[in-house]
Amino acid sequence: MDQTRSRALFAEAVRCIPGGVNSPVRAFGSVGGTPPFIERGAGARLWDADGNEYIDFVASWGPLILGHAYPPVVRRLEEALGKGTSFGAPVAVELALAQTICRLVPSVEKVRLVSSGTEATMSAIRLARGFTGRRKILKFEGCYHGHADAFLVKAGSGVATLGIPGCPGIPAEVSGLTLTVPYNDAAAVTDVVRREAADLACVIVEPVAANMGVVPPADGFLPFLREITAAHGILLVFDEVITGFRLGLGGAQAHYGVTPDLTTLGKIIGGGLPVGAYGGRADVMAHVAPAGPVYQAGTLSGNPLAVTAGLATLEALEQMERDEGLYARLARLGGHLADGIRRDLERLNLCLTLNTAGSMATLFFTDGAVRDFAAAARSDTKRYGRYFWEMLRRGIYLAPSQFEACFISAVHTEADLELFLKANYEALKVAFEK
C-alpha cells in the first residue's frame, strides 16, 4: 500500500498541528503508522492522497449514514451556498431542522441547535445544574460525552484509546463533581444515588455505549435509570450524539421505549457538517437563555449551510424509512455482517467478542462478554492494531482504535459487506499468525 504522499503530508502536519491532527484519535497513535490523508469520498468509498481506495466503515465517526457526497444533500448545499454562508441571525431552515427533531425524537419538546456534540453535552449539564440547583453529575466509565472539563473523567473514545488517566488542565474541583460508575451496573448507580441524590443534577448516559466500542444496555438498565432518576428529581440525559437517527428516526430512546428528560444530538443531524443539539422537556428548556437564565450562545449556531445539510439528511432518512424501511434494512445488513464475522471466528477457532446494535458493531479482541469498560479494556489492542492494518491494506477503512464503532451506512451494499468479510477472514488470520 503506497503511502508516499500521506507520509509527506503528515510530516508537514506535525510541524504546525499538535500531533499532526485536529482530533487525537486520527493520529493512529494506538495502531501505529501514518494516517492516510483523505482526498475525496463518494457513497461508501474513500480515496486517499496516494490514490488508495477504501470501503468506509467509519463514516466520519458516525455522521455519514447516507455515505459521502450524497447527491440530494450536495444539491441542497450548492443551492444554499450561493445565498451566503452565515448571518448570525434566525433563518427558516434552522427552524425546519428544529421542528423535524422535535417531531421525531420522543423526549424533545424544545431544542437548541449548537455546533458540535461537545457543545450539546456541556450545555445540557449546565442546564441540568441550573434547573435543579444541584452541582454533581453521574456518568459511566467508558462513556464519552465530548471533551468538556466535566466529562474527561474515565472517558471513552480517544481518552481510552490513548490511555489518558486524567487530563491536566482540569481542576480537581471541577472533575470532583463528576461521579462515575461502571456501565450497566444498576447496583452501583443505586449506591451513588442513595448517597448523593440531594446534590445530583443529572445522570448522563449513552443509551447504547459506542465510545468504548459498542456496548448495548443490559435488559432493563435504561428503564431502571429512568425510574431511579425520576424518583429523586434527578434529570436523565441521553447522549444520542451517535445513536440519534442511527438506531431509528427516534434514536435509542424510541428503540428502547425510554424517554429521558434531556437529549443531546450531533453527528447525523449535521449530515457531515458541524451541528449539535440539546433538547427535551419544555419546562426544563424554558430555563435556557434568552427564555430563561441559563446562558449558552454561539456565533455559528444554526449556521445556514450546516442546518441545510442536516435537514436534507433527516428528510432523506425519513423518505427512505417510508419507502423501504431503512432502519430494518440497516439492521439486516448489521446482522449479515455479524453472522459473517462470527463464521470467520469459528473457522479460525478464535474466541473474540462481537457486540452489535443495529448498524453499529465492534469486534473486541478479548473473549467473554463485554458489558462495561473494564471488560472492553481487557482487549488486546496491539493485536487489534495488526488486524486494523491488515484490513486497511485490503481496502477496508475501520476506526484506528479498539474503542470505537464500525458503522454501516445506507449506501453499503451486500457486495461491500462480502468484501469486508473476505478481508476480515484474511486479516484475522494474519493478525493471529504473528
Residues that bind ligand HOZ (CB under 6 A): 23, 25, 61, 157-158, 211, 404
- Cα of 389 vs its chain's centroid, Å: 23
Packing angle of the helix pair 381-393, 414-433 (nearest 10 deg): 130
Q: Which is nearer to ligand HOZ, 25 or 208 (CB)?
A: 25
User: Which of 54, 70, 144, 397 is the catalytic position?
Assistant: 144
- Whether 144 is a known active-site residue: answer yes
Neighbours of 428 (CB within 10 A): 24
Instruction: State the nearest-atom distance from the C-beta of 385 to ligand HOZ, in Å.
Output: 17
Helix or strand or coil: residue 190? helix
**CA torsion sign, 243 to 246 to 250 to 254?**
negative
Instruction: State the nearest-atom distance from the C-beta of 268 to ligand HOZ, in Å.
Output: 12
Instruction: State the nearest-atom distance from the C-beta of 24 to ligand HOZ, in Å.
Output: 6
User: Which of 110, 136, 139, 267 is the catalytic position?
Assistant: 267
Q: Which is nearer to ligand HOZ, 157 or 362 (CB)?
A: 157
Instruction: State the nearest-atom distance from the C-beta of 397 to ligand HOZ, in Å.
Output: 14
Q: How is residue 364 written as a grid cell? A: 473486541
Q: Which is nearer to ligand HOZ, 25 or 306 (CB)?
A: 25
Instruction: Indicate the DSSP class of residue 60.
Output: G
Neighbours of 60 (CB within 10 A): 15
- Whether 267 is a known active-site residue: answer yes
Q: Are 177 and 150 in contact (CB under 8 A)?
A: yes
Q: How is residue 292 written as a grid cell? A: 430563561
Task: Report which residue's Cβ sits closest to ligand HOZ.
Answer: 23
Neighbours of 426 (CB within 10 A): 15
- Whether 149 is a known active-site residue: answer no
Break the chain down into helix, strand, coil percent, rounded to 5: 45, 15, 40
Q: Which is nearer to ligand HOZ, 23 or 190 (CB)?
A: 23
User: Which of 56, 239, 261, 344 is the catalytic position?
Assistant: 239
Cα–Cα distances (Å) from 238 to 181, 187, 330, 361, in that order, read 16, 20, 22, 20
Count how many Cα atoms sit within 13 Å of the Cα of residue 17 in the half-sphere of its side chain.
Answer: 12
Instruction: State the nearest-atom distance from the C-beta of 405 to ligand HOZ, in Å.
Output: 7
Residues marked as catalytic: 144, 239, 267
